[in-house]
Structure 1
Amino acid sequence: MGRFSRIESPALTRLSIAVWQQFADDLRLQDAQTQQFRSLQECFTRQLKPGLRPVDARPEIVSSPCDALIGACGRIQGNQLFQAKGFPYTLEDLIPDERVAARYRNGQFVTLRLKSSMYHRFHAPVDCRVRQVNYISGDTWNVNPIALKKVEKLFCKNERAVLELECGHPDYCLTLVPVAAILVASMKFHFLPEPLDLTYQGANRIPCDARLQKGEEMGYFQHGSTIIAFASEQYHLCPGIAEGHSIKMGEALLSGHPVTGTKTSTETTPTPDI
């Protein structure tokens, strides 16, 4: 599928999109900066018209890093959380670094599933710094609800990356875990030199130094997938965040203590033009 999606043929791309739209009636290409794509991959990774994803600028708010359907979410019970009802896994199963996993005991988690028809780019949920990406190679199971109810510890088996977000407050911790899935199974981070996929042969712990403003684009999936957001126990879910809820990038996801010295505006700001 990855090879097919990279074929540059406008005619083949138009045909592929037409077939795709028969199965995904929520594919909203009118929101894209362009409706003319040289390849199916260009359509998957499309950018949106400016201003379509305003970002909640309140400093106590952690905004959604992506468009998504919310899966399991809520308080982590010690180190245990759920991919679906009756399918538990532990922090240590998903995050192999015990130091990082320990920060989220009794914290909050939200599973954000990107359908194939959704906007595939993901953004910084807060002002932050990323110093390292921990890449974990693995399987490429589908991450749809049917698979989550049948495959035990699916997220812990799939290819994924762990991104600690330094937010300027040592007691308020945030980590994103993008999880790749079936078909293309590729993650591209703008602050790393090459995509992360099953052909990657480099180190698992990849150093970087990315300083990101809230709403700034971090990268993209080359097909639908999942991001699991972890927050330390000082945070709580924002009103309306529940399983099955649809959320847009930039909307309020979690709420915590404002960072000292940051203005407390309630306005929203447009997505930075990357």
Structure 2
Amino acid sequence: MAATTAFKGAKSSRWRRFVLKPFVFVQFFFGIGLLAIALKQFRRKNTHPAQSPELIAKDWEILYYRIIPFRAISRAWGWLTNCHLPVWARRPLLGLYARTFNCNLEEAKDGNLDNYSCLAEFFRRKLKNGVRPIDSVSAVVAPSDGTVLNFGRVTAGMMEQVKGVSYSLGEFLGPAYWRNGPEVQPAGQTELEYEKSLLVNKDNDLFHCVIYLAPGDYHCFHSPVDWTVNFRRHFPGALLSVNPSIAKWVAGLFSLNERAVYVGRWKHGFFSMTPVGATNVGSIRVYADEKLRTNCTKWALPLPYYDRYMGPTETDSDEIPLHKGEIFGEFNLGSTIVLIFEAPKDFEFKIRPGEKIRMGQSLHVTGSSVKQEAAAH
């Protein structure tokens, strides 16, 4: 009997050693291959100066696209990237990833690949002190490394996610009742009326900026301004790819995806910062919001959105004061940050669509009143 048990134990051990472990590594290489294909797609040049209606996905195409189980795929990818790597495999596998996605290891606080026990740890690598200086004069700085997808003034309650493809401000943020507790939004409110309702100073305008984080970018995001967060709205949503090529194809992409909208005030009025989830990026972590849980099953989060008040309306929490450049949260892999904020009418961006930017660099020109007030401050 003991011999039989020992035989079964040895057989089980051989099974784990020669079947299960190689299977895990096959999955790992398969994931790397998929990511490499995605990167090649990202690098394809856009030959269309503006998006024509024929190139934008129709409703039935989006419906079929959403049938793909991106949430399950993302959870599986999350499990895979957290699998422990033996020391001998770390340098070749993580090195392959770093070369494929142009990761700058010289900027990493720990540049020794042997010290990262899994791919997820490498995703979340921290940077050396001083490699991302925060512009001390500008009031608004880049919240992350990445590529500028689009930016500009909000027009009649609409924003461009890429040139020629727009989405609704109201659909992205949801009902505007975060300032003084749950208010009833006026019935039949137009997009323009919704936009105006966000302004603290009616002489200001709303502006937006969309930044895409590629798989090789630094994955943490920081506060772009000095502000106070008092509300969070979590949309469970989908986990569609936010690759620029998909953003050109699916109108309203950012309003479909899972996202955590953080709303508050800065010196010019309304300010919001939204990390948007994506395929293989189901995990969004915000350091000051431990209650946030992303990439859950639709049965766990059945409602369209979930609100959390972080101000005087909720006794178990406080407002969150954030300073410009202060670390705010992190993605697993890469995704998108959307900024929507109120500023004087002469506010002017100094970035370009498609430009690579680094966390902490200025986003606006030096001649605006925002800059002048920031310098005085």
**TM-score tier after normalising by the smaller chain length:** 0.7 to 0.9
- Decide which moves more: 111-120 or 11-20: 11-20
Q: Which structure shows the higher strand fraction?
A: 1
- Show the counterpart of 1:204: 306
1:47 to 122, 126, 138: 126
User: Matches of 1:259 and 1:161 in 2, distance apart?
Assistant: 28
Matches within 5 A, 1:159-178: 159-167=258-266, 169=267, 171-178=268-275
User: Could you say which residue in structure 1 is the equivalent of 2:106?
Assistant: 30
Pairwise CA distance, 1:151? 1.6
Which moved further from structure 2: 3-12 or 172-181?
3-12
In the alignment, structure 1 residue 180 sits paired with structure 2 residue 277: yes
Query: Which residue in the other structure is 1:244 paired with?
Result: 354
* 1:258–1:111 distance in 2 versus 1, CA, 3 Å: closer
Matches within 5 A, 1:191-230: 191-199=288-296, 201=300, 204-208=306-310, 209-230=319-340
Gaps of 5+ in 2: 1-76, 179-193, 311-318
Percent same amino acid at aligned positions? 26
Distance 1:99 1:86 in 2: 30
SS for the counterpart of 1:89 is: strand
- Does the 8 A contact of 1:77 with 1:106 survive in 2? no
Runs of 5+ consecutive residues of structure 1 not aligned to the other structure: 266-274
Aligned to 2:26: none
Q: Which residue of 2 aligns with 1:82?
A: 160
Whole-angstrom CA distance in 2 between matches of 1:109 and 1:261: 20
Correspondence for 1:264: 376
Which shows bigger deviation, 93-102 or 147-156? 93-102
Give TM-score scaled by structure 2 length: 0.63
SS class of match (2:230): strand
Tell me the SS of whatever aligns to 2:149: strand
Aligned to 1:139: 238
Q: Is the CA contact (8 Å cut-off) linking 2:139 and 2:371 kept in structure 1?
A: no
State the secondary structure of the residue aligned to 1:17. helix
Q: How does 1:142-157 map to 2 (within 5 A)?
A: 142-157=241-256
Where has structure 1 moved over 4 Å in runs of 4 or more?
200-203, 255-263
Q: What amino acid sits opposite 1:119 in the alignment?
A: Y
Superposition RMSD in Å: 2.6
Partner of residue 287, structure 2: 190
Q: Counterpart in 1 of 2:140? A: 62
Aligned length: 260
SS at match of 1:112: strand
Instruction: Tell whether the 8 Å contact from 2:152 to 2:349 is kept in structure 1 after alignment.
Output: no
Give the conservation status (yes or no) of the 8 Å contact 1:172–1:234: no
Contact 1:63 1:249 in 2 (8 A): yes
Return the offset for 1:233.
4.7
**How far 1:23 sits from its partner (Å)?**
2.7
Distance of 1:20 and 1:260 partners within structure 2: 43
How far apart are 1:184 and its partner, in Å? Answer: 3.0
The question of whether the paired residues in 1 share the 8 Å contact of 2:207 and 2:340 is answered with: yes
Structure 2 Cα separation of the partners of residues 152 and 142 of structure 1: 13
Distance 1:148 1:32, change over 3 A: same
2:144 partner amino acid: C
- Deviation at 1:258? 5.1
Q: Which residue of 1 aligns with 2:33?
A: none
Q: Distance in 1 between matches of 2:164 and 2:176?
A: 24
Higher relative contact order (CA 8 A, sep 6+): 1
* Most deviating of 133-142 and 189-198: 189-198
